[in-house]
């Protein structure tokens, strides 16, 4: 598995995203990019197809979560986009992932189905509210959700790197671990509550880090991207 930095295109329109990506036109390799709900709902599937036609790897972060039949239908509807990764909420349960897995079984190159566990914006209070008052630790909640989703057919897990170490130690099977909430030392954490540095994520055993504002809002996004990639991957680029 090739580790990488994924740049979060958290922009309100396709034009803003295009302007940002134009800064990378002179680079030898296009960045791996994340298209989340904001951009997908604004620009639609056509923009995802445009990015794919230009050679971008795409992490489609829609966090699908509904009854199993509805999620399976949504996954089938997204198959034509050819994305590389697709997220579903782990709290949807084992059957939801089983149905999603079934929906992509006929694809030659199906997307990596990722289970989103506990959002990195959650504080302890917010997590307890979302878990209906259950007094689980963050590590226990993430482990429980990740284990359930992997049993149902998820390929990998999205979690804070702070819980990633626990997952690596307690889930014996090999799986891609994708971690948002990454901030270089000294960077503003914004609305994130559980953050680590790229170097910390590397040492924990994270496969992909998702980085948005420290790159997209930097004075020189390309330089910021390269610095974060160097810190995360070192000489393995």
The set of catalytic residues is 63
Sign, CA torsion 164/168/170/175: positive
Our CA angle for 69, 121, 153, nearest 5°, is 30
Q: How far apart are CA 234 and CA 232, in angstroms?
A: 6
Give yes or no for a contact between 87 and 60, defined as CB atoms under 8 angstroms apart: yes
Who's near 129: CB < 8 A, 6+ residues apart? Answer: none
Q: Which CB contacts under 8 angstroms, 24+ apart, belong to 134-142?
A: 138/162, 138/163, 138/194, 139/163, 139/166, 141/117, 142/117, 142/118, 142/166, 142/167
**For the chain, how many helices (H) and strands (E)?**
11, 8
Helix (H) or strand (E) holding 97: helix 94-103
Lookup: tokens for 85: 């990764």
Question: How far is it, in rounded angstroms, from Cα 47 to Cα 180?
Answer: 23
**Distance in angstroms (rounded) separating the CA atoms of residues 195 and 41:** 27
């Amino acid at each position: 598995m090739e580790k990488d930095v994924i740049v979060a295109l958290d922009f309100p329109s396709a034009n803003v995203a295009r302007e940002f990506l134009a800064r990378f036109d002179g680079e030898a390799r296009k960045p791996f990019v994340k298209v989340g709900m904001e951009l997908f709902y604004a620009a639609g599937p056509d923009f995802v197809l445009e990015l794919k036609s230009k050679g971008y790897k795409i992490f489609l972060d829609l966090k699908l979560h509904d009854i199993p039949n509805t999620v399976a239908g949504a996954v089938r509807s997204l198959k034509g986009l050819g994305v590389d990764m697709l997220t579903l909420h782990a709290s949807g349960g084992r059957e939801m992932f089983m149905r999603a897995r079934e929906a992509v079984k006929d694809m030659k190159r199906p997307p990596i189905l990722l289970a989103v566990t506990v959002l990195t914006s959650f504080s302890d209070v917010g997590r307890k509210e979302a878990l209906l008052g259950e007094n689980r630790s963050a590590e226990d909640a993430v482990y429980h959700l990740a284990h359930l989703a992997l049993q149902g057919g998820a390929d990998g897990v999205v979690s804070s790197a702070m819980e990633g170490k626990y997952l690596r130690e307690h889930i014996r099977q090999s799986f891609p671990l994708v971690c948002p909430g990454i901030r270089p030392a000294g960077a503003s954490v914004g609305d994130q509550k559980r953050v680590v540095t790229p170097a910390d994520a590397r040492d924990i055993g994270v496969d992909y880090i998702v980085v948005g504002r420290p790159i997209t809002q930097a004075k020189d996004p390309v330089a910021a991207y390269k610095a974060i990639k160097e810190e995360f991957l070192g000489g393995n680029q």
